[in-house]
Structure 1
Amino acid sequence: MSMPLYEYRCAECGPFDVSVSMSEVRPVTACPVCTAESPRAVTAPRLGRGPTAAMRILESTARTASEPAVVSGAVPGRPRTPPRPVTTDPRHRMLPRP
């Protein structure tokens, strides 16, 4: 099970992420670079970033909207269109072809 990421902002070093459980998150933490106290930033939730099967399906579905797969055959379940009828009348061979 993955832990949520929380963003903190150091006044000198800038933003950094901390991964802790929801019960252990604090409003202020030490910066990993300069050890100054850094307040927690209010950011948008980071949803949809997980290795679960449901997330992989959602990501592949979203990806097909912008990158459709190449179709190499007929649609499954639909009958193929019948070919044009072939004539056996020899006079038809003398007609001009398109």
Structure 2
Amino acid sequence: MPLYEFRCADCGPFDVSVPMSEVSASAPCPRCEQQSRRSLTPPRLGRGDSAAMRLHDATARTASEPDVVSGSLPGVSRRPSRPVTTDPRHRTLPRP
């Protein structure tokens, strides 16, 4: 069912979910019962509660709000305890 937005003069906007065949130009406000006019809004295509939508929203949020790590894990060394390789040719490779 589509979701329509109505605006009460006293309480502000609220949403009503009704079939397309039953929508009217006004609806009673759920708080004060005053008749409120329907607002024209863009379609809400991304509104959903599926796991895919939650994953999409979380992924999009990381672009502007990345999680920042401020240190290493306690008890974990960044250097390996033993050499990774014993091949002498690897010693000539550039190091970061």
Q: Where do residues 28-67 of structure 1 align in structure 2 (5 Å cutoff)?
A: 28-66=26-64, 67=66
Q: TM-score, normalised by structure 2?
A: 0.53
Q: TM-score, normalised by structure 1?
A: 0.52
Runs of 4+ in 1 over 4 A off after TM superposition: none
Identify if the C-alpha distance between structure 1 residues 21 and 69 changes in structure 2 by more than 3 Å, giving closer, same or farther: farther
The structure whose Rg is larger is 1
Identity over aligned pairs, percent: 59
Counterpart for residue 4 of structure 2: 6
Q: Where do residues 58-97 of structure 1 align in structure 2 (5 Å cutoff)?
A: 58-66=56-64, 67=66, 84-85=90-91
Pairs aligned (count): 75
Counterpart for residue 23 of structure 2: 25
The AA in structure 2 aligned to 1:85 is: R
Which residues of structure 1 form unaligned runs of 5+?
A: 71-81, 87-98
Identify if the C-alpha distance between structure 1 residues 49 and 69 changes in structure 2 by more than 3 Å, giving closer, same or farther: farther
